[in-house]
């Protein structure tokens, strides 16, 4: 129980909405960075920086639209408000926190995964290939 509200089915719908928006924002950044690496031959650092700068406004517009749409639900009063308020709190609070975390952690995770891929390729392992033995055991 947070903010004096139970975690109801309506609040869970807000969390599902939140997960979808956050996932979309991360995909936008990573997709743009991978595309910049391939087409413009940028380093991973330059690619994710460019993606973060160019996609910041669309990401913020989407998040703020959903966040501001949840404010009337959060502040609403009257008949049925006790059912809708948990949805508003889940949307507004979740989007505010997750937006900051997404914008900071997605580039960091992208760079760490790129370094991991480079490290595994130096070991001689190709992370995109898996070999299956066709020999039958005796």
In-domain check, residue 23: yes
In-domain check, residue 2: no
Kindly state the tokens that stand for 5.
Answer: 């509200």
Which tens digits make up the pLDDT trace of 92-116?
Answer: 888 888 888 888 999 999 999 999 9
pLDDT of residue 75: 87
In-domain check, residue 127: no
> Is the CA virtual torsion 109, 111, 117, 122 positive or negative?
negative
Structural domain including 43 reads 9-122
The span from the CA of 127 to the CA of 106, in Å, is: 21
In-domain check, residue 136: no
In-domain check, residue 3: no
The CATH number of residue 56's host domain is 1.20.1640.10
Length of the chain, in residues: 138
Q: What is the largest CA-CA distance in the chain?
A: 76
- How many domains does one find in the chain? 1
In-domain check, residue 133: no
pLDDT of residue 89: 84
Which tens digits make up the pLDDT trace of 69-98?
Answer: 889 888 888 887 788 888 888 888 888 888
In-domain check, residue 1: no
pLDDT of residue 111: 93
In-domain check, residue 128: no
């Amino acid at each position: 129980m947070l903010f004096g509200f139970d975690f109801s089915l309506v609040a869970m719908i807000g969390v599902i909405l939140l997960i979808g928006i956050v996932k979309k924002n991360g995909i936008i950044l990573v997709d743009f960075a991978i595309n910049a690496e391939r087409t413009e031959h940028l380093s991973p650092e330059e690619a994710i920086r460019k993606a973060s700068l160019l996609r910041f406004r669309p990401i913020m517009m989407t998040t703020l639209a959903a966040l501001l749409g949840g404010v009337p639900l959060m502040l609403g009063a009257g008949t049925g408000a006790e059912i809708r308020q948990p949805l508003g709190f889940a949307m507004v609070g979740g989007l505010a926190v997750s937006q900051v975390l997404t914008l900071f952690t997605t580039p960091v995770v992208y760079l760490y995964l790129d370094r991991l891929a480079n490290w595994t390729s130096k070991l001689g392992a190709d992370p995109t290939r898996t070999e299956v033995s066709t020999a039958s055991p005796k």
